A and B are shown apart, each in its own frame.
Chain A
Amino acid sequence: METGTEGARYTPQELMVAAAAREIRDGELVFVGMRLPILAYGVARNTHAPRARALYELGLMRDRAPEAFLATMGDPPNVVAALWATRMSNVMALMAQGRVDLGFIGGAEVDRFGNLNTSYVGDPGRPRVKLPGSGGGADIAILSRRWITLMAHEPRRLVERVSYVTSPGHGDGSPGWRRRQGLPGGGPVAIVTTMAVLRFPEGGGEAYLDSVHPGHSVEEVRARTGWELKVADRVRTTPEPSAEELAWIRRLDPEGHWTRPA
């Protein structure tokens, strides 16, 4: 699965990892989810954010990428040289106090206000598709200071309104929705997809197209989005992964388990 560019030297997933890594600022505490964000932390830590720390919900804190490939956050290499191996409720305690700067959440469906569904497609009493559920997703969405979701850019995934809100974003999109509901964290700031980066205005509201990945067009992205997608005044082209970022991605995922799908 190469990008739209002939002979591209990276996959859409590799670009997503690089884009996600750049969202991590140096010194931040990052709540790392599964799959691509595990790689994004490793890339950020080894490039522009050497003092970023990673927190894993099963009860780990780290300040470096593990020495071996991780299929899950619970693989033994993730424990070696950890800063903290503990229980989940201790990790959640940090997040509840607002000490997690950035969280990553995977999603099956996201809507224009950044609400995520990872639970039920269709009636929860008799769903058309039963998805695995929240995991820590709802906790990250509600408690982290800001968060990002990554997903494939498909009309069935980027929908007008999700039928079930597992992890709340900006709710109905009205100003101050999260504050009125009592949600402590700031909510979603970006949706990184296989084609583009969507962002949210400061303080919440509706997602807009901020940058398009090389090989894709604004029209294509809008056609593949399940709502009338707003577009920034000046849409940028998402920067390609640098040679250094690509080298780290391939070192952390040597067989392309997450970044070079068959």
Chain B
Amino acid sequence: MTMAEAIGRFVPDGATVAMGTCLEPAIPFAAGHEMIRQGRRDLTLVGPISDALFDQLIGAGCVGAVRAAWIGNVSEGLGHCYRRATERGEPHPIRVYDYSNFAISLALWAAAWDVPYLPTRTLLGSDILRTNPDLQVVDGVVRVPPVRPDVTVLHVQRADAWGRAHLWGPLGISEEAGLAARGVILCCEELVEPEVILSDPNRILLPETQVVAVVHEPGGCHPSPLQGHWRRDHAAYRAYAERSRTQEGFRAWLEEWVLGLPDRRSYLERLETGALRVRVRRPSVPADYGDE
């Protein structure tokens, strides 16, 4: 399926969408940019920290609410579109539900296990309990109710056409976000034969029954890194931080890198990708699944 088809079919206006679940690596920027191109409105974005992608969707006017622990630009600092939306209501106001990283993970696990809440001691003494009305303290513990994404979008190293995927490196909250979601869109760097994936079932992140779409989208995570494939493009994050300081600068950036381009392929053609590709190979030793 193409990215345009996957987003068109599975991410309607008003959807709750989890992205960036590995934290800094493997962020599905191509999927987020397609949501912007298709003019999605009133999305609820769910994530732990978001390194620039949520800021872009907020600036583009796609977002009604965020449920996240941190929204900004990890190497550069503040998220300028996030600031404009919350401080001045530009391009329109958004609703912010504050979490910590642990708390958003627990909210997704609560949805994955279908329990009314998970109790925790984290957030005791924090004003996050004051500004997020969903979190309650009962008998000295915090109750974190479920957050269920309509769709979780993951960028993975490799998948097959049946929706089985290998993801390696730090996993962040990807597993609970995928299990909790009504559907998962898999964006993959490499589309491989099922034998490749099934040769190592322990590395399969989620069951195929959770997956609603597989999109072969090489470079779909740029400028975030992907173990074995892409380095983080620090300069792109810096350029975005500088250009998004003003609404006009952000609009110009958006036109140049998202709205003025039809798809990810044309985006990559605008980049010097050579220096960003991981060159050092460090394959793991295969695990022997021998049976008899």
Contacts and interface: CB of A to CB of B under 8 A. Distances in A.
> By DSSP majority rule, is chain A's interface helix, strand, loop, or mixed?
loop
Interface string A122-164: 0010111111111111110111000000000000000000001
A130 B83 contact: yes
A143 B170 contact: no
B48 interface: yes
Q: What band does the interface of chain A fall in when counting residues whose beta carbon is under 8 Å from B?
A: 35 or more
B165 interface: no
B102 A74 contact: no
B189 interface: no
Contacts of B278: 76
B78 interface: yes
A166 B121 contact: no
Given A127-B87, A130-B83, A181 B232 contact: no
Interface in B264-292: 278, 282
Contacts of B169: 76, 79, 85
B184 interface: no
Nearest to B168: A85
A181 B125 contact: yes
A241 B234 CA distance: 28
Contacts of A142: 121-126
B144 interface: no
Contacts of B128: 119, 134, 138, 166
Nearest to A124: B131
B79 interface: yes
Given A58-B23, A85-B170, A71 B124 contact: no
17 contacts: A56-B170, A59-B171, A74-B225, A75-B24, A79-B169, A89-B106, A124-B130, A128-B87, A132-B79, A133-B72, A134-B98, A137-B100, A142-B121, A143-B102, A171-B125, A182-B121, A184-B121
